[in-house]
Amino acid sequence: MTAPTAAGSPAYNAGIDQEDEIVAVDGESAVSFEALDEILRRHRPGDRLRVSIRRRGVSQDVTVIAAEDPRLEIVPVESSGGQLTAEQRAFRDAWLGSRLK
């Protein structure tokens, strides 16, 4: 799988080039986007991941520091003009309330 490296991304910052082939992440095979996505879901921003790549036939390891995706923003539905259903409100209250006690 070749690396999708956008400028400023963790992969780009680690020196992974667009033509590099990602072979493994933290010792786990990453031969598809699905496999890579599954591995990344288990990590949080700030985690250091050992990424094995193949560049022009030469294998090497680089360290990638996981980061938040700046294109994503989580906001309450009310701030965008929507309204919660009773079920959604109960879920949110139970979810957030459990962390406030």
- 71: Cα within 13 Å, side-chain hemisphere: 3
The pTM of this model reads 0.64
Compute the average pLDDT of residues 66-76: 81
The answer to whether residue 48 sits within a structural domain is yes
Which domain CATH number covers 35?
2.30.42.10
The answer to whether residue 88 sits within a structural domain is no
- Count the domains in the chain: 1
Question: What is the number of other CB atoms lying within 10 angstroms of the CB of residue 26?
Answer: 16
Q: Give yes or no for residue 101 having a pLDDT over 50.
A: no
Kind and range of the H or E run holding 2: none
Whether 40 contacts 51, CB under 8 Å:
no
Q: Which residues pair with 54 in a beta bridge?
A: 21, 59
pLDDT in tens, 37-62: 888 889 999 999 999 999 999 999 99
The answer to whether residue 19 sits within a structural domain is yes
pLDDT in tens, 30-39: 778 888 888 8
The answer to whether residue 84 sits within a structural domain is no
Question: What pLDDT shows up at residue 72?
Answer: 77
